Amino acid sequence: MCGIVGLFIKDKALEPQLGKLLAGMLATMCDRGPDSAGFAVYGSDESGSCKITVQSPDPALFSGLDAALGDALGAEVQMTVRDTHAVLRLDAALADKARQLLREKYPQFRVMGVGERIEIYKEVGYPTGVAERFGLSSMSGSHGIGHTRMATESAVTTMGAHPFSTGSDQCLVHNGSLSNHNNLRRELKHGGMTFETENDTEVAAAYLTAQMDSGLSLGDALQKGLKDLDGFYTFVVGTRDGFGVLRDPIACKPAVLAETDQYVAFGSEYRALVGLPGIDGAKVWEPEPATVYFWGR
């Protein structure tokens, strides 16, 4: 049993409140996942630049990372540190080289996510504490998703927390379990995908990335997943421009959507939505089984 929340802002005037609203939604899901939590926030579009979110158990190790990486790349690297995570900003054309350098020369740092807009923060701990550590309430953006975890398939670790990101500006949170993730992991590894954990959710994220890398849209990748992914699941997938929702054909995992002129919101339960502005006048419904929903710009 895990908790999922998501918020897509339609009215730009509401973007400065994204983090505050998402933090409130996440707090209602603590009892569905008390062991760890995480969230992804999609901020403003910084054309030509890229953000790499990295994590370290010892934040003191971040000291000088921006200068050292900048020297190795021959370009400016800016860094913002939030507790155990740091966001590195650099020229988008250098993103692949920067990731390679981090992998080869800085193995003490673990990459959480990469993209033009995405920032990912996740840690072990009670969800409200995790949100406070990273200052979620002060963040702004166009959309975000969050997750509270009750571990069932793998250990309680930072890397086992959600969201999982396996592609640029992509991430996924999941409530449920996949029964064929080991076979899929082997197939995806043969196709060149790499994995950081044994978590089934990382396999689902990598599966969708592989499908989109082959030319499918997110909607088509999710639709194909209905045939290829065995198990019980509710997915919320973040992309650069929006988010998608999918429940398995049986749809035993709870889910609710709400839409107004200002936003689209997702919660594992309706109580995650009650603090949103204008929720009393929102269209509220339970997403249908085996049906892809997506909102974007």
Can 252 be counted among the known catalytic residues? no
- Assign 3-class secondary structure to the chain: CCEEEEEEECCHHHHHHHHHHHHHHHHCCHHHCECEEEEEEECCCCCCEEEEEEECCCHHHHCCHHHHHHHHHCCCCEEEEECCEEEEEEEHHHHHHHHHHHHHHCCCCEEEEEECCEEEEEEECCHHHHHHHHCHHHCCCCEEEEEEECCCCCCCCCCCCCCECCCCCCEEEEEEEECCHHHHHHHHHHCCCCCCCCCHHHHHHHHHHHHHHCCCCHHHHHHHHHHHCCEEEEEEEEECCEEEEEECCCCCCCCEEEECCCEEEEECCHHHCCCCCCHHHCEEECCCCCCCEEEEC
Catalytic residue selected from 2, 30, 50, 252: 2
The answer for residues whose C-beta is within 8 angstroms of residue 43's C-beta and 6 or more apart is 117, 119, 139, 140, 141, 142
Q: How far apart are CA 77 and CA 73, in angstroms?
A: 9
Residues forming the active site: 2
